[in-house]
Amino acid sequence: RTLNLCVLPEAESTNTLLREKANAGAPEGTVILANTQTKGRGRRGRSFYSPADTGLYLSILLRPDGMTPDQAVKITTMAAVAVCEAVEEISGKETWIKWVNDIYQEGRKISGILTEASVSMENGSVESVILGIGINVYPPESGFPEDIRETAGSVFDGKQNDGKNRLAAGVLNYFFKEYERIDRTDYVEKYRAKSFVVGKEITILSPSGNRQATALDVDQDCHLIVRYENGQTERLSSGEISIRLS
């Protein structure tokens, strides 16, 4: 497969820019990489700290065939697995997935994924997906901002010559390898094996109130099976959890 790579010194947000290109008809496989983002976006309306030189900020345009919006979750989980594979190969250090799609190394978040789908008004199928991946490759020059200083980490402890490029190539290669065989489900096993929430006491964060639960399993659709304190179980398709350390 050929990718159309567009490498920029700066973007507001590679996801936002690629959405504009997608709406103007850009083909699947269009990729934007930026050296820094002035308005990097995270999940749930948060910002994603995107300093120059030390991070990898990239977005991939996909046009999956006849996919329903709930199947689009697959793309995110595949991407989480691809990030783990690429980071492990290049750093030689183990990575973990915090459900749904935060990637951790040595107890710190090194990468986040923001997937945004656009759905056809006519038949409700997914027209295009912007898959945005941010990785903290090196420690930021002036450290991480106060609010994430205790939780964020980077893949390498210090600058390496070509770490960022190798990581970018690795992520794209691993991702497209899985994406070409989207009907297969082997990535789910990898996703489960990398999920560190299973068996942990968690708090499910929600605007309508947080709930305590135990994470029991991650199922075939990468949904999280939880058991609440009253014994009731539920299958969560997406959401935000924090893990309670006991």
Residues annotated as binding site? 13-15, 37, 41-43, 109
Minimum gap (Å) between residue 122 Cβ and ligand BTN: 28
- Pick from 6, 83, 103, 114 the residue near ligand BTN by CB under 6 A: 114
Q: Which stretch binds ligand BTN (CB under 6 A): 55-63, 80-88, 137-145, 234-242?
A: 55-63
- Pick from 30, 35, 54, 59 the residue near ligand BTN by CB under 6 A: 59
Cis geometry, peptide bond prior to residue 155 (ω within 30 degrees of 0): no
Structure tokens at 194: 């990398």
For tokens 């999920």, the residue is: 195
Minimum gap (Å) between residue 113 Cβ and ligand BTN: 6
Query: In the Cβ-directed half-sphere of 6, how many Cα atoms lie within 13 Å?
Result: 16
- Pick from 19, 26, 35, 41 the residue near ligand BTN by CB under 6 A: 41
Name every residue whose Cβ is closer than 8 Å to that of residue 203 and which is 6 or more positions away in sequence.
210, 211, 212, 213, 241, 242, 243, 244
Is residue 237 exposed (0-12), middle (13-18) or buried (19+ Cβ within 10 Å)?
exposed
Residue 87 near ligand BTN by CB under 6 A: no
Residue nearest to ligand BTN (CB): 112
Residue 37 near ligand BTN by CB under 6 A: yes
CA dihedral 159, 162, 167, 169 (to 10 degrees): 170
Name every residue whose Cβ is closer than 8 Å to that of residue 49 and which is 6 or more positions away in sequence.
40, 55, 140, 144, 145, 148, 152
CA atoms of 94 and 196, how far apart (whole Å): 12
CA atoms of 192 and 203, how far apart (whole Å): 19
Among residues 203, 206, 207, the alpha carbon closest in space to that of 215 is found at 203
How many positions of this chain bind ligand BTN (CB under 6 A)? 20
- Pick from 22, 49, 57, 188 the residue near ligand BTN by CB under 6 A: 57
Q: Which stretch binds ligand BTN (CB under 6 A): 127-135, 157-165, 180-188, 233-241?
A: 127-135
Query: In the Cβ-directed half-sphere of 129, how many Cα atoms lie within 13 Å?
Result: 25
Looking at residues 218 to 237 of the shown chain, list those that interact with ligand BTN (rule: CB under 6 A): none
Structure tokens at 233: 């179980």
Q: Which stretch binds ligand BTN (CB under 6 A): 132-140, 163-171, 175-183, 205-213?
A: 132-140
Cβ-based nearer residue to ligand BTN, 66 or 107:
107
Residue 13 near ligand BTN by CB under 6 A: yes
Q: Which stretch binds ligand BTN (CB under 6 A): 90-98, 109-117, 203-211, 231-239?
A: 109-117
- Rule CB under 6 A: which residues touch ligand BTN? 13-15, 37, 40-43, 46, 48, 57-59, 102, 112-114, 132-134
